[in-house]
């Protein structure tokens, strides 16, 4: 996510000025945690942690959910931020975010072991590929298969005369093994519009502890790793490390609908399976996410001047006053 260095974002930077809050962020970077866990980790009282979490929530660094068992559970909104210096048209940057349920795919081809589960039960039964066409699939919170692919379609909401700055695709992923096996590598490939971004080697199918959001009735794989893929004008990145020199121009982003494919194939090295976790399984209370930043492709001199002035407090007050006089 990009953060502009500007007066409006001073509260964001002030939230990072506390050593305790930095420790909280470092701890949450390893996974979600409740207030008690954070208090023990950073060495302060639960009341102080609650106060610090409130400040981090106010600026969008942290989000939280309530659990009957664990109380308030906190997680990072993003794993990375890029600082951008102000330019003449920096107020033209806009963005949107899409959250995709794991069962809301457009196409799938999968071989056993495979299946779907919602928060309460299996959908149909294990290892029967027909389950992927069950009407209840839209409620799925967990999807897994040994070999094949699953494709999701998302709308391109970037307006005409705007250029994409970057696209981020993120999901909680792991390998797939009957029951679990922490040491079970799998090459998981991600494609955008038919073009491969990169391959990630999942270390295993994790069952060494219960996932923070995994329901108690589920006894197989418990959690995955949160992976973030970014495509921008410099290349393709996985968790901030550059994987390819392909840029946005290589991924057909002019299309009105984009296709995102997660694939495990015996033609692409190690087919150790794929598991995709939804909001109610795993360690992260989130679905597959797609985030897009875009900016106006060309801004006239007068538009640049207006965009700079209209973000000044005096200008905003004067504009509001004038509107009230109409």
Tokens of 273: 């399976």
Which among 288, 314, 294 has a CA at the least distance from the CA of 102? 288
Task: Return the pLDDT at 105.
Answer: 98
pLDDT tens track for 173-205: 999 999 899 999 999 999 999 999 999 999 999
Confidence tier at 231 by pLDDT (50, 70, 90): very high
DSSP-derived 3-state class of residue 180: coil
* Measured distance CA(150)–CA(114) in Å, rounded: 12
What average pLDDT does the segment 115-124 reach? 96
Q: Is the pLDDT of residue 222 over 70?
A: yes
Tokens of 20: 């305790």
- CB-CB contact of 131 with 115 (8 Å): yes
Higher pLDDT, 211 or 309: 211
pLDDT tens track for 234-280: 999 999 899 999 999 999 999 999 999 999 987 756 669 999 999 99
What average pLDDT does the segment 102-124 reach? 97
* Measured distance CA(173)–CA(190) in Å, rounded: 11
Order of all β-strands in the sheet with 195-202: 107-111, 147-155, 257-264, 186-192, 195-202
Confidence tier at 8 by pLDDT (50, 70, 90): confident
DSSP 198: E
- CB-CB contact of 94 with 297 (8 Å): no
Q: Is the pLDDT of residue 316 over 60?
A: no
pLDDT tens track for 47-93: 999 999 999 999 989 988 887 788 899 999 887 787 877 665 555 67
Q: What angle separates helix 46-58 from helix 19-28, to the nearest 10 degrees?
A: 80
* pTM attached to this predicted model: 0.70
* Measured distance CA(325)–CA(316) in Å, rounded: 15
Q: How far is CA 186 from CA 2, 177, 191, 200, 238, in A?
A: 31, 10, 16, 8, 16
* Measured distance CA(237)–CA(257) in Å, rounded: 22
- CB-CB contact of 16 with 3 (8 Å): no
What average pLDDT does the segment 124-146 reach? 96
108: Cβ contacts below 8 Å, ≥ 6 apart: 132, 148, 149, 150, 151
* Measured distance CA(93)–CA(77) in Å, rounded: 20
Determine whether 174 is exposed, middle or buried from the number of CB atoms within 10 Å of its CB (0-12, 13-18, 19+): buried
């Amino acid at each position: 996510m990009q953060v502009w260095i500007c007066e409006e974002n001073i509260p964001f930077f002030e939230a990072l000025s506390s050593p305790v809050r930095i420790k909280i962020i470092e701890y949450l970077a390893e996974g979600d945690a409740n207030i008690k866990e954070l208090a023990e980790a950073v060495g302060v009282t639960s009341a102080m942690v609650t106060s610090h979490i409130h400040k981090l929530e106010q600026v969008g660094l942290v989000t939280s959910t309530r659990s009957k068992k664990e109380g308030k559970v906190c997680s990072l909104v993003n794993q990375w931020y890029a600082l951008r210096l102000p330019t003449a048209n920096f107020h033209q940057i806009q963005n949107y975010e899409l959250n995709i349920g794991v069962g809301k795919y457009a196409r799938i081809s999968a071989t056993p072991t495979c299946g779907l589960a919602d928060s309460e039960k299996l959908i149909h039964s294990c290892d029967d590929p027909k389950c992927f066409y069950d009407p209840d699939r839209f409620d799925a919170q967990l999807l897994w298969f040994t070999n094949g692919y699953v494709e999701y379609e998302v709308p391109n909401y970037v307006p005409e005369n705007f250029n994409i700055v970057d696209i981020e695709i993120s999901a909680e992923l792991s390998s797939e093994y009957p029951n679990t096996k922490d040491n079970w590598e799998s090459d998981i490939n991600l494609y955008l519009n038919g073009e491969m971004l990169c391959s990630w080697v999942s270390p295993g199918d994790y069952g060494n502890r219960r996932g923070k959001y995994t329901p108690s009735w589920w006894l197989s794989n418990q959690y995955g790793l949160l992976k973030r893929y970014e495509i921008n004008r410099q290349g393709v990145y996985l968790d901030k490390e550059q994987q390819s020199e392909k840029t946005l121009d290589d991924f057909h982003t002019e299309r009105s609908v984009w296709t995102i494919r997660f694939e495990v194939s015996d033609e692409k090295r190690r087919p150790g399976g794929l598991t995709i976790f939804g909001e109610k399984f795993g360690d992260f209370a989130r679905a597959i996410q797609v985030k897009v930043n875009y900016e106006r492709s060309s801004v006239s001199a007068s538009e640049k001047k207006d965009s700079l002035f209209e973000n000044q407090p005096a200008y905003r007050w004067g504009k509001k006053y004038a509107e009230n006089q109409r």
